[in-house]
Amino acid sequence: MKTLSYLTCIGILLTSFSSIAEPASEHSGKASKHSALALSHGVVGSAQVASAVVAVPLIVAGSVALSAGAASIEVGEGLSKVASSKASKVKSTKQVKLEVTEITITVDRSPAEAMKANQ
Amino acid sequence: MKNLVITLLLIFITTLAHAGSNQATEANFKPEEIALFAKNVEKYAAEKGASAFIIARIGQPKSELPKGINFTHTAIAVYSEITLDDGKKVKGYAIHNLYQDAKNSNESSLVTDYPVDFFWGVQELKAGIIIPSPELQQKIIEVIASGKNKTLHNPKYSLIANPFNNKYQNCTEHTLNIINAAIYQTTDMDQLKANTKAYFKPQRVHVSRFKLSLGSMFADGVTTKDHKGKVKTASFGAIANYLFKNDLGSPVFIYEG
């Protein structure tokens, strides 16, 4: 009976951990997610769904969006003026409304599904 | 009696299995609802001109979250040129995450996904958004674009990682590391942790030390080995306070679908 009480207590206590748990990533579900999205978009007739292959960060300078690599010279010049041990400001940019695609983008399909699509 | 013990043991195992790795592949809302919500979050950030912002989601029922924890996952969204599988290039946000591994709860990986992926398994269509100052946004993008974020990753995962050292890491601590690497222009972990200790106020985890110790004994992905005294961890709210206090970020905006 002592064992039972002990185990019951531990069981109750450990349930706390499920509440701050964070979902993990798993590739197996991506194919079904992509299909579900494609199906839902087909039904409602709205924007298309697409898989992403790669994403390159952009830095917005004025009203122009540059790839982070291309803009690094400008940022680098600003950074060279600041001490590395404390927070400092570099050249600020104006706030501009950015363009966002209407396409629903999802992570690429599973290797198995990608192979099927390429055949 | 023997059956009862076996039943309880099975319950424990089930509890532990869910403790660190609930599957984000199960949607709680219709795909079109999630897609619309995710796109609206993107549009909100784009209207604000955010090249990079801190994004958070609620992956567990809010009623079950410990006091002071309002979001269960935090990451950084970066405005990007995205190449699609048909070769077309479009603009939108890519999200840079640290995710607990599905098969090994004690480890994590860096994963880039997109808003609809990010919100796929949420309990509520609610997003936490912090928009850093334009200067800090640029520096955060530099850290990510240069790949320095990878050097800031410790794959040893703990749900309640102590942000004052680098023994273990969770998603929010990794986000904080990127922010501080951007602010201080260094990837020197000792320097980053010294600065974190000096200026960052973490969130107290309101679960008793006894429970946490038991958790670390029985559950993967939870340990108190990196803590002394009260258990504190990085949270979305704590990052918001940190940035706001230092004039480096907007107040938290909650976007609801």
**pLDDT tens digits along A6-47:** 554 444 444 445 445 454 444 445 557 877 887 776 655 556
The percent of residues in chain B predicted with pLDDT above 70, rounded, is 86
User: Is residue B15 over pLDDT 50?
Assistant: no
Q: When comparing pLDDT for B19 and A38, which is higher?
A: A38
pLDDT tens, B107-165? 999 999 999 999 999 999 999 999 999 999 999 999 999 999 999 999 999 999 999 99
Whether B158 and B170 have beta carbons less than 8 Å apart is answered as yes
CA-wise closest residue to A106 among A62, A43, A44, A40: A40
Calpha distance A110→A112 (Å, rounded): 5
B19 chain-A contacts, CB cut-off 8 A: 14, 17-18, 21
Selecting from A33, A44, A68 the residue whose C-beta is nearest the C-beta of B25 gives: A33
Phi and psi, residue B101, nearest 5°: -65, 140
> Which residue in chain B is spatially nearest to A54 when comparing CA positions?
B83
pLDDT band at B249 (very low <50, low <70, confident <90, very high): very high
Task: Please tell me the predicted confidence (pLDDT) of residue A41.
Answer: 67
Task: Please tell me the predicted confidence (pLDDT) of residue A67.
Answer: 67
Task: Please tell me the predicted confidence (pLDDT) of residue A71.
Answer: 42
In sequence order, which residues have a C-beta less than 8 Å from that of residue A27 and are 6 or more positions away? A110, A111
pLDDT tens, B32-57? 999 999 999 999 999 999 999 999 99
Best residue in B62, B82, B99, B122 to probe A by mutation, most A CBs within 10 Å?
Answer: B82
CB atoms within 10 A of CB B164: 20
CB atoms B22 and A21 under 8 Å: yes
Task: Please tell me the predicted confidence (pLDDT) of residue A16.
Answer: 47
In sequence order, which residues have a C-beta less than 8 Å from that of residue B63 and are 6 or more positions away? none
Whether B144 and A99 have beta carbons less than 8 Å apart is answered as no
Average pLDDT on B65-89 reads 93
> Which residue in chain B is spatially nearest to A26 when comparing CA positions?
B102
Selecting from A24, A53, A100 the residue whose C-beta is nearest the C-beta of B46 gives: A100
Closest chain B C-alpha to A50 CA, distance in angstroms:
6
Best residue in B138, B211, B233 to probe A by mutation, most A CBs within 10 Å?
Answer: B138
Calpha distance B55→B75 (Å, rounded): 5
pLDDT tens, A67-111? 665 543 333 333 333 323 233 333 445 568 899 999 999 987 666
Instruction: Write down the pTM of the prediction.
Output: 0.80
Q: B247 — contact with chain A (CB < 8 Å)?
A: no
CB atoms A85 and B99 under 8 Å: no
Phi and psi, residue B80, nearest 5°: -140, 160
Calpha distance B156→B99 (Å, rounded): 11
Task: Please tell me the predicted confidence (pLDDT) of residue B172.
Answer: 96
Calpha distance B35→A38 (Å, rounded): 10
Task: Please tell me the predicted confidence (pLDDT) of residue A43.
Answer: 54
CB atoms B32 and A43 under 8 Å: yes
Distance of CA A49 to the CA centre of its chain: 16
